[in-house]
């Protein structure tokens, strides 16, 4: 089979005949056709005929000749037919206006001339482009074979390039004589287009299509005939100039806006410009430029002077925030999000504003006189409450409480304000939210009494506010409370205050238990089990005590021992650790340097106590019960005999009242049972007989001898204050409209601490913190065995930050202390001072 | 004027083939012929004075073959009489149907 190898034979019978395949006749056909095409007479030509002519020339290997011929034909055509009308368009007037920015010409004049020029260019370009497309179609076979093989630019690119070389890059000889620099038509084109765009920016109406056609033309022409995608004239020449011109335009515009000094106008202007430029790219220029031009606007109009605008008096960011100009703020947010992902300028301004407003609240508290507004916490506020310096405990405290509540209200209002801003203007931006939250937390914690005030606010809301309110209202209060707690850094301090206030509320049944429990439940969710353990313990104690009291009552009834002088006992058994030391009677210990004060109870009460004690210990041996007289209350039935000599009015009859007093009050009143008519007791005598601490006794006697509604004791001399030298007697002429009377229990109204009490609280808190820090250090060291000082410090801070911000100095002192107690020893790791745990 | 869906191809010996315009457009040459403002584009009638009916018929067959199978895979080969190979090769070049790597059709 391989013996006779196949050969491919040359073509013997070509499909075209010989004489027609010569070059000259074919070129003649084509040349005629080119002229016809330029003159728009193509419709009578046969495409097939022309195609075949070029096809044959290529088959004859005359492709190169054809290529060159077409090129030189086109160059010739350009010289004779295209350039003359163009150079007519380029009048020296146009050159003056376009390149020298001749100010003498009006905008109208400039526009007219520029548009005429662009129209001329457009016509020429469109003709040229159409012709070149048709010619390229005819010469398709040439393009496919010769130009591809010879690595020449396609005939289309080459002929389109003529437009670039002979028109755009034409200096038109003498026309530039009076300019000091050379120029080409392209320069004029650019200048005219840019001028038109600036006119449009200034509000003129220009022929957008014309501009669009000019830029499309530039997009279709390349720097060289190889036509690399990134070398479009639009990108290489026009766009940079456009961007530079825009930059200048917006820089000037921005400075003008700055002079007018209206940040609000600036915002709207910038927003409008951005929209316009985007729009311009879509309709007039090219989408290729959209991103770049908006960057220019971002930079020149927004970023460049942003801080100046934001700082403006009256319209700047401060006033936007203060006056709730939400629209301005949302525009601002959008603009800033464009230019800065972290929005640092806005963030910083917001933070300062929050801080300032927060500190303003504190300042205004200091400036406000709280004597004037009725402090509703205590109805019977003495009139001369303005006298702050000398203790008028009731009024000063009430004022302070009002101040605390005002502070909290203001803070909440501020918080609401910024929440609204966040949702309506800042799209709930997380970065901004957390920044604002941080600032809130900062200024709240800068205010040294925030923990106490927040607790007071909750106390006030729960005590007064909730009765008869709907669940929704309650919900609002609860939410506010949790929001505030979240901000507090010194949570241990808050815990201390809250515990104290909660204790009062529970013992005096001032609030509704289910709301209290709900709030604690939320705190638990927010701050963890540890935080609420004591509060829950308090609730538990209350519930157990309720059962206990009932059981005891049953027990007594079953005993049949009726003769307890009809004293009913309701008892709260409180677990020491869960309740604040003040309530447990230990508060006084540090204050007056005494042990637990045991006041002397009247015998009838004493019997009752013993009876309960023995009942209690029946099931729970080994426990110790301590009576906390300061925390209890009693209903005392009093009989006021008829006053001799009075025949009319309430005093003419015997009166029976039921007075609700504190336990101390009951003890004091009991003393007067044993006095004869007309006898009186001095303060010292009362104290000696009862052993009630001075401060408590003053309070007790105040409540019984000063307010007219509960003045069952007559004081000598009559004054608004109880002094240790006063004498007290049974007020026989006491009368009341109601049977049940409540002696104001001064002790129970929660109030702001004065500075001494405050120091006490802080001192106690610091002591607790010392223990907590100790525990943390030991816990960490036990696990890690060895640690450098810095590591240890940061670990301790990490562990404790949820409860309070530990002071580094304190940590250091505690470490020293633990070294002294030989829990730790000093070592060195590397060069760093370090510690080792000694088990 | 709405363009007709069909175009007429005329061979050197006077045979006329009416072909779906879309099918014809597979050839770049035909595409150029029909899109410009030349005679053919206006009349929809393309004359090929140097292509015989035999060859043109095969070309038209191919246009249809391409059009039918344009979206399919695993297309069966088209049958080509061996004696016409050379002429068809030239016609393919003329119509710009050359690069075999693209379509994968056997010409």
Whether residue A154 contacts residue A143, with contact meaning beta carbons closer than 8 Å, is answered with yes
For residue A673, the tally of other CB atoms under 10 A from its CB is 11
User: Which one of B46, B90, B96 has the shortest CB-CB distance to A144?
Assistant: B96
Is any Cβ of chain A less than 8 angstroms from the Cβ of B89? Answer: no
Whether residue A304 contacts residue A254, with contact meaning beta carbons closer than 8 Å, is answered with yes
Whether residue A416 contacts residue A383, with contact meaning beta carbons closer than 8 Å, is answered with no
Sign, Cα dihedral of A349, A352, A354, A356: negative
Task: Find the residue in A nearest to B42 (Cα).
Answer: A43
Q: What are the beta bridge partners of residue A729? A: A680, A714
Whether residue A579 contacts residue A496, with contact meaning beta carbons closer than 8 Å, is answered with no
Is any Cβ of chain A less than 8 angstroms from the Cβ of B86? Answer: yes
CA distances B40 to A37, A568, A666, B44, Å, are 15, 120, 122, 5
CATH class for the region spanning B6-100: alpha beta
- At A276 the pLDDT is 86
Query: Where would I find the beta strands (DSSP E) of A760-812?
Result: 786-788
Span B90-102, average pLDDT? 71
Straight-line distance from the first to the last Cα atom of chain B, in angstroms, rounded to the nearest whole number: 37
Residue found under tokens 């690119």: A157
Whether residue A322 contacts residue A312, with contact meaning beta carbons closer than 8 Å, is answered with no
DSSP designation for A601: P
- At A177 the pLDDT is 53
CA–CA distance, A393 with A386 (Å, rounded to integer): 12
Shortest Cα distance from B72 to chain A (angstroms)?
Answer: 27
Task: Find the residue in B nearest to A137 (Cα).
Answer: B32
- At A139 the pLDDT is 84
User: Which one of A45, A52, A134 has the shortest CB-CB distance to B50?
Assistant: A52
Task: Find the residue in B nearest to A143 (Cα).
Answer: B96
Q: Considering only CB atoms, which chain A residues are within 8 Å of B94? A: 55, 141
Cβ-based neighbours of A544, under 8 Å, separated by 6 or more: A573
Output the six-digit token pair for A589: 């210990």
Shortest Cα distance from A136 to chain B (angstroms)?
Answer: 9
- At A174 the pLDDT is 52
Pairing relationship of beta strands A655-662 and A740-742 according to DSSP bridges: parallel
- At A534 the pLDDT is 82
Whole-model pTM over 0.90: no
CA–CA distance, A67 with A73 (Å, rounded to integer): 10
Output the six-digit token pair for A251: 């820089």
Is any Cβ of chain A less than 8 angstroms from the Cβ of B47? Answer: yes
Residue found under tokens 């075949």: A52
CA–CA distance, A193 with A285 (Å, rounded to integer): 10
- In chain B, where are the structural domains located? 6-100
CA–CA distance, A396 with A825 (Å, rounded to integer): 51
CA–CA distance, A207 with A316 (Å, rounded to integer): 38
Q: Which residues of chain A have pLDDT under 70?
A: 1-21, 92-93, 95-105, 172-182, 368-398, 464-469, 560-568, 581-598, 645-651, 744-754, 839
Query: Where would I find the beta strands (DSSP E) of A195-244?
Result: none
Cβ-based neighbours of A192, under 8 Å, separated by 6 or more: A94, A98, A114, A117, A118
Shortest Cα distance from A263 to chain B (angstroms)?
Answer: 57
Q: What are the beta bridge partners of residue B20? A: B6
Task: Find the residue in B nearest to A11 (Cα).
Answer: B86
CA distances A405 to A362, A379, A492, A830, Å, are 12, 17, 21, 54
- At A3 the pLDDT is 46
Continuous segment of H or E residues that includes residue A612: helix A603-619
Cβ-based neighbours of A819, under 8 Å, separated by 6 or more: A825, A826, A835
Span B57-79, average pLDDT? 83
Residue found under tokens 């004690």: A613
């Amino acid at each position: 089979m391989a013996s006779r190898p196949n050969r491919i034979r040359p073509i013997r019978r070509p499909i075209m005949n010989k004489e027609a395949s010569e070059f000259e006749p074919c070129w003649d056909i084509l040349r005629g056709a080119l002229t016809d095409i330029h003159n728009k007479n193509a419709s009578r030509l046969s495409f097939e005929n022309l195609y075949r002519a070029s096809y044959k020339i290529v088959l004859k290997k005359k492709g190169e000749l054809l290529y060159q011929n077409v090129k030189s034909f086109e160059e010739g055509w350009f010289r004779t037919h295209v350039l003359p009308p163009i150079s007519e368009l380029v009048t020296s007037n146009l050159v003056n206006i376009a390149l020298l920015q001749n100010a003498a010409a009006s905008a109208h004049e400039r526009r007219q001339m520029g548009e005429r020029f662009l129209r001329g260019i457009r016509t020429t370009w469109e003709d040229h482009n159409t012709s070149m497309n048709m010619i390229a179609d005819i010469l398709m076979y040439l393009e496919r074979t010769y130009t591809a093989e010879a690595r020449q630019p396609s005939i289309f690119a080459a002929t389109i390039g003529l437009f670039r070389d002979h028109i755009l890059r034409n200096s038109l000889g003498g026309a530039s004589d009076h300019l000091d620099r050379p120029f080409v038509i392209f320069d004029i084109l650019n200048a005219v287009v840019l001028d038109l765009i600036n006119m449009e920016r200034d509000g003129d109406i220009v022929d957008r299509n014309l501009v669009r056609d000019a830029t499309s033309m530039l997009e279709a022409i390349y720097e060289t005939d190889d036509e690399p995608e990134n070398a479009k004239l639009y990108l290489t020449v026009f766009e940079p100039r456009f961007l530079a011109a825009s930059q200048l335009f917006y820089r000037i515009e921005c400075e003008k806006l700055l002079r007018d000094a209206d940040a609000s106008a600036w915002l709207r202007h910038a927003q409008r410009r951005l929209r316009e430029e985007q729009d311009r790219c879509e309709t007039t220029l090219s989408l290729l430029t959209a991103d770049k031009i908006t960057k220019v606007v971002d930079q020149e109009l927004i970023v460049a002077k942003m801080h100046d605008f934001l700082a403006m008096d009256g319209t700047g960011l401060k006033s936007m925030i203060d006056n709730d100009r939400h629209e301005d703020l949302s525009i601002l947010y959008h603009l800033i999000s464009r230019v800065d992902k972290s929005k640092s300028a806005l963030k910083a301004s917001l933070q300062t504003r929050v801080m300032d407003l927060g500190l303003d609240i504190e300042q205004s508290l200091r400036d406000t006189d709280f004597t004037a507004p009725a402090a509703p916490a205590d109805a019977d506020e003495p009139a001369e409450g303005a006298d702050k310096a000398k203790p008028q405990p009731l009024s000063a405290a009430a004022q302070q409480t009002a101040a605390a509540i005002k502070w909290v209200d203001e803070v909440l209002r501020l918080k609401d304000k910024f929440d609204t801003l966040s949702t309506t203007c800042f799209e709930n931006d997380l970065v901004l939210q957390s920044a604002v939250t941080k600032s809130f937390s900062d200024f709240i914690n800068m205010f040294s009494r925030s923990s106490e005030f927040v607790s007071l606010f909750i106390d006030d809301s729960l005590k007064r506010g909730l009765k008869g309110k709907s669940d929704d209202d309650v919900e609002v209060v609860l939410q506010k409370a949790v929001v505030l707690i979240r901000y507090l850094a010194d949570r241990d301090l808050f815990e201390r205050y809250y515990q104290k206030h909660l204790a009062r509320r529970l013992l005096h049944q001032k609030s509704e238990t289910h709301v209290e429990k709900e709030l604690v439940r939320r705190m638990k969710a927010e701050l963890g089990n540890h935080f609420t353990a004591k509060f829950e313990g308090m609730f538990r104690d209350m519930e157990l005590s309720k059962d206990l009291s009932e059981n005891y009552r049953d027990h007594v009834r079953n005993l049949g021992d009726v003769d307890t002088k009809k004293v009913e006992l309701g008892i709260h058994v409180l677990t020491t650790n869960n309740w604040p030391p003040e309530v447990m009677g230990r508060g006084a210990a540090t204050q007056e340097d005494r042990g637990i004060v045991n006041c002397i109870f009247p015998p009838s009460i004493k019997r009752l106590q013993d009876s309960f004690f023995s009942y209690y210990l029946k099931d729970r041996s080994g426990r110790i019960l301590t009576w906390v007289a300061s925390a209890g209350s009693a209903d005392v039935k009093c009989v006021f005999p008829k006053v001799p000599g009075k025949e009319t009015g309430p005093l003419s009859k015997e009166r029976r009242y039921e007075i609700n007093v504190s336990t101390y009050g009951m003890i004091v009143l009991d003393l007067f049972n044993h006095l004869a008519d007309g006898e009186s007791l001095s303060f010292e005598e009362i104290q000696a007989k009862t052993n009630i601490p001075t401060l408590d006794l003053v309070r007790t006697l105040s409540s019984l001898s000063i307010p007219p509604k509960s003045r069952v004791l007559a004081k000598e001399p009559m004054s608004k204050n109880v002094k240790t030298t006063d004498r007290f007697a049974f007020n026989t002429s006491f009368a009341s409209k109601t049977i049940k009377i409540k002696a104001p229990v001064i002790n129970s109204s929660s109030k702001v601490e004065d500075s001494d009490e405050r120091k006490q609280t802080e001192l106690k808190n610091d002591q607790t913190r010392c223990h907590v820090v100790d525990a943390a250090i030991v816990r960490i060291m036990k696990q890690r065995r060895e640690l450098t000082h810095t590591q240890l410090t940061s670990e301790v801070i990490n562990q404790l930050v949820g409860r309070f911000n530990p002071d580094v100095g304190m940590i250091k002192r505690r470490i020293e202390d633990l070294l002294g107690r030989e829990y730790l020893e000093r070592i060195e790791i590397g060069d760093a001072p370090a510690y080792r745990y000694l088990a | 004027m709405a363009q007709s869906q069909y175009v007429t191809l005329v061979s050197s010996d006077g045979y006329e083939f009416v072909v779906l315009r879309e099918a014809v457009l597979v050839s770049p040459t035909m595409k150029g012929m029909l899109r410009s403002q030349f005679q053919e584009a206006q009349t929809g009638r393309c004359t090929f004075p140097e292509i015989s009916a035999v060859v043109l018929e095969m070309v038209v067959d191919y246009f249809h073959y391409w059009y039918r199978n344009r979206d399919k895979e695993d297309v069966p080969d088209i049958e080509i009489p061996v004696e016409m190979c050379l002429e068809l090769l030239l016609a393919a070049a003329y119509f710009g149907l050359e690069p075999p790597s693209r379509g994968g059709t056997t010409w």
